[in-house]
Structure 1
């Protein structure tokens, strides 16, 4: 065995391989030419099916265009004996070489793949066949006329036969040759499918021969070729089309069956219509089916990958405590439902949207004495999910809890962390009114859970009656307070984000807001901008907010987003809450709350503040609160037996006459014989008059009392 080494050895190996390919291509071209010449219709060298052109195109596609000298030599060898002279033979050989080269250039320009498994490949080979063979047909037919092999009157018919013959050679032979490597590259067929393939080819032979010679109906083979393309794509369609075309062309060349006695032009029209139909029905249909199968497999793989990714992501939500189980279970159910309904890339997007809707408040609570507005703007509009969040909690004692947080990152993982932190804060806030205690509890929970993301958090408790604000922060940007007199950031003790360290100390600061002041809680996406420091962003926010002091909160939020965020350059999510304690209004007091026992404290606190602001003395205040409380307790106990409802309260002060109305929309329970009625007696004892009006639409308790008015108080 001889081992080659160095540049000379590699050159010899390469030259030997090229030589073998060149010989194989030339011999195949030459044999194909003689097969085609046996089917000639004009003279000895114009045939309706010219396999060499198809052979040359296939060789150039599979091996390379460097084979053109071998093709040119074989074409010259074929044409020398057939032409009137060497010059005509050289011209014809040049046309036969140039046409497949142009065809391959066209195919390369459209990104052709020799597997013929896309519609663009099938349409590309049709375009290359019809366009490139115009060259060989024109040169060859002119060479025949110039050498007096045909008359110029025969030139159009000769050109047509030549052109269609070369084109059919590309459309019929090239796909067949390109299908041969697929027998090696693709998995082999089982025995049953192999038998079906043989049966298809035998049926093509029988149907084509019978149709062309006996029935004189050429298109009987079309359904069989179409079935081959549908079942086994190019590997079956290309041989079936070649067999059907060869049999029909042979019948035309010998004037058999439907071609017997017909003029040349009629024979050509019938034959080439059949060949074109067979070609298109074979590799074009095969390409369409292959492309559909590839797309189906790709979609199945994508769906399986998304299923796996969703399973991994949702598993992160499984380690929640008892207080979080209900909401997280609903989220899991939504994800599972989506996994059954969605099969494509939309799955993760839909899950993200579902999570986002469930994590942010559907609507802000209606807190007496407080105006609230909020905004959330995601940084990525395609997924629409991030780690920023906000919450407004109506606490049982009439105070309002304000929370805002930022989980680093985006996607399902950040949303899962956000869900756990938000729900944990809600639970702890209802148990403890101290912001610092709430943050300590959240920190302990986050430290025990596998949360890789960093979480900053700010929690504040506002008493609307006294405008007293308590704030605690875990690494979050400070609260901005502003009014017509100016704007400033509230000082809060420094502390790390929750869960970052094993131990953390969270302190709360206490502030008393001046009348008309507005609070702004926000995430860092509002004040961050490319190329600018965070200090510059805080200064810009302070200026923009102060310019809108006293404006409607909804307009304020829109103004801040427009001013602070660069269009189309939002690098991070933005969440913000604007809160403003409402000033005392010298007018009626109204409040609507759910008719539940837990809401009575809220109603009592709101009424007490209104009475104090109106200047009602302490003794009158206590009697009115007790009388109103009895009327409210009766509504909670008796009005809504079948379904929940609302408790509506209204109070008016006309000089020293105080009037109150306690309304419900329910149906009271029938009175029992076990006593009772003490509440009505107590109301009558504490007020000057009590009227009870019961109708089919509900009950109204009307209380009246003369009160003493002292100096008005200003919280």
Structure 2
């Protein structure tokens, strides 16, 4: 049989496997053909229309059972036997051939349909009972009835007026063969497949069969419409004996009803042929559906009951086994509880120590990273630090911006491998060391040599990568040395690229190493970006893919505000919001001063005076002002700013603004504060203003409650004159 199988007392439907020997295969074909022929001769003895239309056609049931048990390869036996039966009773060889084709096609289609829906020949489910009644018999047999009745009309064996009656008798006969014969043949193998009946069960089966036969004979020959009295007997057989009892009883009831219809006895007397066939088919369908459906229902319930009992037994065994295991486990757990209690105490102490170490490391790193970028006139600086979201420990990423003598600016970014207190402590030592070495000698080689010796002397197990950059605003030159760190990125409208050169291994890896530095020009408006590897490294991507992504993203930001540039790079390269490693980055951009007014807003602090004078000198130089004029203007502006620092705010903090513009060959310098000047002491006061007037063409001082504004003007010479 084809189709799906369901778990039951047999793993799959039994199919008689045809042996490979050709002789045995031929014997099976001959046996099926002979059974078909004999069944046909029996059915033709009950013919009602001509010689070949009978209300009982056993060959249809024989053919369907053969296809389901032996396989569809039995169709030649069915076809040849059908042709042999139809040749003597047909109008010619062609009608006989067509009729034989219909007789073969109908059960073959029924077998295919039943196999496709997973039919089981044991008829042990309600679906199987419904399928053989409605699909195997009532639906599929319309094929042979339609072909056969149409052939009789075409061959002029019957008139067109007799087509409906002939079709009804033909359909009834074929369907009756399936409903009565096929289940009986399918139940025969069950007698040796299932457990054998005891003697009492055989006796009960005999009583049921005899009682069914007696009732069927009496009701079929009586003038009263009492055929339904056989249904309780069929229900008894289905309930007590399932298919092995229901199939023979149903076959006997159907045969007797068919015999009564052919002889026009009992309920079939005095009615038309069509009415007789409809009544007979309704009775046979009811008998088959009642018997097989009830038998399948009882079989399902019995199978479920056996499965439930088996599951209960298995569950009891598993409960007993599990109880013994739990008892042993409970004893073992009692022994382990004490050990776990001691271990928990140790873990609590270790957790407290780890938490305290984490808090120390977090506080240490928070205080070591710059809380704000320094105010450097003429230079824009921005930085970002993003801690890892997947790691509770503090990392070793850090950065710094150092203002050095001679207006030099040091940029440093580093990464101490590892996390926790040890990495944070190493970061703190290195950050302070970089500042100390840079103050003593700001050159990249000197700073890196000092750090190399420090890392070798310190008990530092982690690897350290570091990139140190020295920027000179006067010349626009950057000098840098890279100790195993990702390369700096130069973002320029002309060409965005990574800065190569000055490469060296990570700090402390080698005993001795001669560091070298690389030099590059950083024009005003270009951006230098330093970062740690967390920005470009991902577990699913190579480091080169990360560098390519950063280069592509940075190339598209152009001249965006420096803070916006940092935020955009971070948001674009970390779209998921998850950061597997710490990210630190710092960016520096020399501002474009030439061709636009200069505006500085700085703290009124003496330490800012040099930066202000330097920014003003750079603006005058880039604006093309003669060196002598530029120097004298720088002195005058410096004196005005010094007065603000000394007199405007006293001990309280404040700020000052410097604005410079070039209008038609005249430089206008404005120094503004928001404080209240202290009164002159009378000892040397007022000399600063005299100096300013001597170095400029005009000076206007405006003092009010909101502060003081000094406006200085001087005509200058533009060009290359010295």
TM-score by length of 2: 0.50
Q: What value does the CA root-mean-square deviation take over the aligned residues?
A: 3.9
Partners of 1:473 and 1:493 within 8 A in 2: yes
Distance 1:556 1:680, change over 3 A: closer
2:511 to 502, 507, 511: 502
- Picking from 596, 599, 602, the partner of 1:593 is 602
Q: Name 2:643's counterpart in structure 1.
A: 634
1:270-669 to structure 2, matched below 5 A, reads 304-306=349-351, 308-309=353-354, 345=355, 347-383=356-392, 385-530=394-539, 532-565=541-574, 567=576, 570-584=579-593, 586-669=595-678
Alpha-carbon offset, residue 348 of structure 1: 4.4
Q: How far did residue 105 of structure 1 move?
A: 6.1
- Who wins on radius of gyration, i.e. which is larger? 2
Q: Call closer, same or farther: CA 1:408–1:480 in 2, change over 3 Å.
A: same
Structure 1 residue 457: Cα displacement: 0.6
Is contact 1:306-1:348 (8 Å) kept?
no
For residues 270-301 of structure 1, the C-alpha deviation after alignment (integer angstroms, 9 at most, x for no partner) is xxxxxxxxxxxxxxxxxxxxx9xx8xx99975
Pairing 1:680–2:694 present: no
- Contact 2:390-2:580 within 8 A present in 1 as well: no
> How far off is 1:485 after superposition?
2.8
Question: How far apart are 1:601 and its partner, in Å?
Answer: 1.4
In 2 relative to 1, CA 303–661 (structure 1 residues): closer, same or farther, beyond 3 Å?
farther
- Contact 1:406–1:523, Cα closer than 8 Å, also in 2: yes
3-state SS in 1 of match to 2:669:
strand
CA apart distance, 1:498? 2.1
In the TM superposition, residue 500 of structure 1 has moved relative to its aligned partner by: 2.8
Q: CA deviation at 1:606?
A: 0.1
- 8 Å CA contact 2:365–2:424 kept in 1: the answer is yes
Report the Cα distance in structure 1 between the residues aligned to 2:583 and 2:692, rounded to whole angstroms.
Answer: 51
- Would the alpha carbon gap of residues 450 and 369 (structure 1) be closer, same or farther in structure 2, given more than 3 Å must change? same
The alpha-carbon deviation at position 602 of structure 1 amounts to 0.9
CA contact (8 A) 1:369 1:465 kept: no
Distance 1:402 1:676, change over 3 A: same
Counterpart CA distance in 1 for 2:485 and 2:386 is 18
> Where does the alignment leave 5 or more consecutive residues of structure 2 unmatched?
1-315
CA contact (8 A) 1:378 1:384 kept: no
Matches within 5 A, 1:35-114: none
- 2-structure distance, mates of 1:113, 1:373: 65
Instruction: Give the 3-state SS of the residue equivalent to 2:650 in structure 1.
Output: coil
Contact 2:626/2:721 (<8 A) preserved: no
TM-score by length of 1: 0.50
Decide whether aligned partners of structure 1 residues 591 and 431 sit closer, same or farther in structure 2, where only a CA change above 3 A counts: farther
Unaligned 5+ segments in structure 1 are 1-97, 117-180, 187-290, 310-344
Q: Distance in 2 between matches of 1:544 and 1:442?
A: 33
Query: Residues 382 and 588 of structure 2 are in contact (CA less than 8 Å); yes or no, is this contact kept in structure 1?
Result: yes
What SS does structure 2 have at the residue aligned with 1:631?
A: helix
Instruction: For residue 365 of structure 2, give the secondary structure of its aligned residue in structure 1.
Output: helix
2:382–2:566: 8 Å Cα contact kept in structure 1?
yes
What is the SS of the residue equivalent to 1:450? coil
Matched ranges for 1:12-31 at <5 A: none
Please state whether the residue corresponding to 1:486 is helix, strand or coil: coil
Query: CA contact under 8 A between 2:376 and 2:611: conserved in structure 1?
Result: no
CA distance in 1 between counterparts of 2:347 and 2:402 reads 42
Supply the distance in 2 between the matched residues of 1:410 and 1:712 (Cα, whole angstroms): 59
Kept in 2: contact 1:611–1:621 (CA 8 A): yes
